[in-house]
Structures are given as C-alpha cells and as structure tokens.
Amino acid sequence: MLHLEHFSNGWVTPVLAFFISFIGSVLGLRCAVRARTAQPAIGWLVAAAVALGGAGIWVMHFTAMLGFTIDGTSIRYDMPMTLLSAAIAIVVVLAGLAIVVRGHREAIALPLGGAVTGLGVAAMHYLGMAAMNSGASMEYGVGLVLLSLVIAVVAATAALWFMLHVQGWGNTIGAGLIMAVAVCGMHYTGMAAMSAHHTDHHGTPEGAAPVELLTPLLTTVALVVVGLVVLVGVAELEVRSIAVAGPAPEPEDIGTLTTDPATLALSGRQWPRQPLD
C-alpha cells in the first residue's frame, strides 16, 4: 500500500481551501437571499450556484487537492473530466436552490433539494478524484464513503435552510463559517476513505500537472469572486438606499390638483402651464 499525504504543503492548502469555501458560501447565501424576492429569480439563482457550487465547493476541493501527494507517483488531471466535475457542482447547487425557492412546502422542498444537492456534490468529489491520473490503483472504504455522503447531504440541506431563514450580514457570516466547515469535512472524509496500491504502470501519467492548473484557476476564481462581490455590493447598496428613502409617494389624484400658486409653492409642485391658443 502506498502512503498518501493530504497536507504536503502543511496547513497552507487546508486553510486556503477553508477560506475560499467560506467566501463562496457567504456570497452564495447573499445571492440566494436576493433570489427569494427577485422577479425573475433565475439570474440570482445562477449567481448563487456559481458562488456556492463553483467557488465554495469545487474550487475548495481543487485547492485542497494541491496538498495531496502519493509517494512514488506523479499526479496529473484529466482536464475534460475535471471541468465536468466543476459543471456538476454548479448545476446540482442550482437545481437544489430552484427546488427550494420554487417549492411551496418547505417540509418537502428542503429535504428534496438537500438530497439532490448533497448527492450531486458527492458525485462532483468522486468524479474529480476519478479525473486524477497517478498510475496507482485507487480503492475506497465503504464506511467512510457513506459517511461522506451523509455529510454532503446534511451540509447541502443546512445551506438551503440558511438560504431560507438567514437575515443580515452577521448571521450570513456565521452560516458561511458553518457551511465551510461542513464542506471541508465532507472533502477530507472522502479523502480518508481512499487507499492506493502499486500497479504495473510506469512512467509519467497523462494529463495536466496541478501546478499547470494553478494560474488559470486563480485567475478565474479572482475574476468570478470580484464580479460577485460587486454584484452583491451594488444590490446591498440599492436595498439600503430604498430603506433610507422610504416608500415612493402615491400618485396624486388628478381631480384634486389645485392651480393656486401659493398652494403649489407650499406643496413643492409646479404650477401647470396654460395651453397655448
């Protein structure tokens, strides 16, 4: 059996993975809050899915994998399968959000959406692991795999519950911390279920090295996160400005308008001009 190292870079990769998951979770929750009241909601749902599924889950997974090594082997990634795992993460989160937002009964929609999202996230994780080429034979312990599935479903259900009930930035940050712990816990539980064995394969496996993916990954993540921060920030400012300004005044009944200059001056309305002959 080969030795697996999950923290080859020390605590840098797990801490960075947790931070990315936290940022993605907070942005996803804020976008989801907007989706609850927006008409139509699809734009905010897509933004929430990209933030939570893309950054909060998939990018966290790949960041954590930068610290994963197998003694005596080189690790490469199958790019089409890796990108497919990213798409799955975003799509399943979007499906779960849509089920909960459009569902009329929370008691049914919440567990259904949580199950769809959680199992999809687990599928993303294990598909991402299948995209890893090392020349070693990989096996998984059934018990820890099942535990990782349970953690994924519970974490997804909790995320959707937070989306429905969390109000305010303080609660959102607390929820983001809980979600980041759950997502990272699911990842490392799934990794602990894996073991590797020698095979007859020799030489460098096919695919892209993790370092080769680091620059495009960081660039994409930075652009997406900055775009979402701007989007959420603008929406928050609009909500605050509306709250400060108060509701718009009701339109005046045309029949009650007066043409007296003094009354018009006190009310702030303009003196209507007389039509030209």
pLDDT digits (tens, 9 = 90+) for 229-258: 888 778 777 766 766 665 555 555 444 444
At a CB cut-off of 8 Å and minimum separation 6, what does 156 contact?
A: 93, 96, 113, 114, 115, 117, 118, 121
β-pair type (137-140, 132-133): unpaired
Indicate if the pLDDT at residue 120 is higher than 50: yes
Range with lowest mean pLDDT among 109-118, 120-129, 169-178? 169-178
**Angular region, 168: left φ>0, alpha ψ -120 to 50, beta rest:** left
End-to-end CA distance of the chain: 100
The answer on pLDDT for 13 being more than 50 is: yes
DSSP 8-state class, residue 140: E
Mean pLDDT score, 167-173: 80
Q: What is the mean pLDDT of the chain?
A: 80
Between 220 and 18, residue with greater pLDDT: 18
Choose between 204 and 137: higher pLDDT. 137
Cβ–Cβ < 8 Å for 221, 66: no
Q: What is the pTM of this model?
A: 0.78
* pLDDT number for residue 201: 63
